Amino acid sequence: MPIIVTSSASIAGRTLHTQFIEHYSFEKTGEYFENNPIYEYQTQDRLIKLLITSRKIIEADHLNEFTTDLFIFASKHESAAKVPALLTHSTGNWTMEAKFGGHPNELGIAPAFAIKEALLELHNQKTRLDLEQYDVSLEVSHHGPTNLNAPIVFIEVGSTPDQWSDKKAAEAVVNAAMRVASTKKRYKTVIGIGGGHYAPEFNHLLLKTEYAISHIAPKYVLDTISESMIKQAIERSFEKIELCVLDWKGMKSHHKEVLLQILEELHLPFTKVRKLLRA
């Protein structure tokens, strides 16, 4: 039973929550969470719950009281560039810094199938809803929560109050979340290393191949990357990891040397993302 989570602490969270109820036949269950009603929606073969928390969504580490096979967080995205965007990613802190929720050096459980399905549907919705001003992209694994006992996927709208209150953009996120909640699809699953925060090479991988990706470690964390964190990325992936895919041009030479040694010690096969894209 998937659980969709929004937050009343943000404009986007409130907009998204309203759009779930308006576009799908969610009904009140009679149960409450943080004094807010819990809703549910029955598909042909799945029951989906919808709840809203008063906490910042990146700080929603308190949801382990719920039993679920997937947490879908529908939330805002914020960036200095203020680019309108529809985004999806897994959670985690690759370093000792945990400025935006979660624990240091801890990754959430990443559902690669959910990230891929969300990205595909966000692209569909961009066209369907005429949201051409919005970029659609992956992000690397970042921010909290990281300690939940079930897989976590974030699906976001950004990056300013204008977009957070945009009902059409919220509808795109809602439809992507509902596709994720309803799907049974599974894919060949990899972890990714290298490149920038919005992972352009890995976007191409998901859109053009049958691969899905769970955790991505960007180039800006590679100065401190360790064998234990790469091992954690493998272990904290919902699906079995078959391969590590490297954004070879998105790494410095000394990072490559360290990573190849770690991957060999872990006996994890690896390849370059561009090689898979040419296959």
- DSSP per position, 138-195: E--S-SS----SS-EEEEEEEESHHHHT-HHHHHHHHHHHHHHHH-----EEEEEE-S
Closest by CA position to 187, among listed 130, 118, 253, 123: 118
Domains delineated in the chain? 2-182 (3.40.630.50), 188-278 (3.40.50.10700)
pLDDT band at 45 (very low <50, low <70, confident <90, very high): confident
Kindly list the strands in the beta sheet with 85-89, ordered across the sheet, starting from the edge strand earlier in the chain.
27-33, 36-42, 47-53, 2-7, 70-78, 152-159, 85-89, 135-138
Answer yes or no: is pLDDT of 196 > 80. yes
Q: What is the pLDDT of residues 228-274, one digit of tens each?
A: 999 999 999 999 998 999 999 999 999 999 999 999 999 999 999 99
Q: Bridge partners of 48? A: 41
- Letter string b/e over residues 98-112, b meaning 16 or more CB atoms within 10 A of that residue's CB: beebbeebbbbbbbb
What DSSP state is assigned to residue 59?
G
Question: 279: pLDDT confidence band, cut at 50, 70 and 90?
Answer: confident
- 31 band by pLDDT with thresholds 50, 70 and 90: very high
Whole-prediction pTM value?
0.97
pLDDT at 165 over 90: yes
Quick one: pLDDT at residue 8? 96
